[in-house]
Amino acid sequence: MRKSIETENGLQCGGRFLHLSQPQVMGVLNVTPDSFSDGGRFVAPDRALQQAALMVEQGAALVDVGGESTRPGAAPVSEQEELDRVIPVVEALTARLDVIVSVDTSNPVVMAEAEAAGAGLINDVRALRRPGALEFAAGSRLPLCLMHMQGEPGTMQSDPRYRDVVTDVGDFLQSRMDAALAARVGRRRLLLDPGFGFGKSLQHNLTLLKHLDRLRDLGCPLLVGMSRKSMIGAILNKPVAERLHGSVAAALLAATAGASIIRVHDVGPTVDALKMWQAVQAAS
């Protein structure tokens, strides 16, 4: 009988357990040349390992490795190129660091190779919609994050429209949960991500954040990523490199609304801010 993937307060992510009684921080590790924030900085496995080690030291419970940029306007990469970027890094991180390694991919071949290399979570911006992804999920033991995205990265920001963004995103996530359940993927293995910045205007993003608690009603932990994104730049009128304070504020708002995992570039400041928030929450 297969071991349960989730308990009441966490997820079994491969050989490591992720506690979710308090929000956890996921560090972003892009091993791509063209990511919007840090493209090209961590392509080499040794540089990626150094950055991941720093994030773990600063308090990251997970490190999310991505080999295909999903920034607005990004071009797709070949399966082999994604494998060449991601798998050596996953192998290095799982061998040397005490951290859960997540892999940001929509490709079922990359998912399978990443699991074999020791990854503990699959983070799919396309919510298992690519051919073969649901089949992988059904045969895997790993938790899976299903994200909402309107369109594809190359065109998603051209003219995003919704009848009601919170309802529409919730309906999409429910439909992908239903597809996973029909493929015999246990509900307790699923996480949900509303997809801030993925086919959404500034107002769409703000409305989603304001009403994020409504998505908790779907019954799965929420993973949220707003770090350094254009929604923060638009509000603060600041470039990517100057969005730290806005990113930390967004992380705290997400935690207050019930997000279980906060995906960020700046791990240390976010961890510190969450510790303060948690101390206040625990006070009598």
To the nearest 5 percent, what fractions of the chain are helix, strand and coil?
Answer: 45, 15, 40
pLDDT of residue 160: 84
Q: Is 229 a catalytic residue?
A: yes
Q: What is the pLDDT confidence band of residue 40, given thresholds at 50, 70 and 90?
A: low
Q: Evaluate if residue 5 carries a pLDDT over 50.
A: no
Q: Evaluate if residue 7 carries a pLDDT over 60.
A: no
Of these residues, 188, 229, 238, 275, which one is catalytic?
229
Write down the pTM of the prediction: 0.92
Q: What is the pLDDT confidence band of residue 90, given thresholds at 50, 70 and 90?
A: very high
Domain ranges of the chain: 6-14+22-69+79-274
Domain 6-14+22-69+79-274 = CATH 3.20.20.20 = yes
- DSSP string over 164-229: SHHHHHHHHHHHHHHHHHHTT--GGGEEEE--TTSS--HHHHHHHHHTGGGGGGGSS-BEEE-TT-
User: From the centroid of its chain, how far is CA 47?
Assistant: 21
Interatomic CA distance for residues 247 and 270, integer angstroms: 8
Percent of the chain with pLDDT over 90: 83
Interatomic CA distance for residues 119 and 87, integer angstroms: 9
Average pLDDT over residues 181-197: 96
Q: Evaluate if residue 39 carries a pLDDT over 60.
A: no
Q: Is 200 a catalytic residue?
A: no
Q: What is the pLDDT confidence band of residue 35, given thresholds at 50, 70 and 90?
A: low
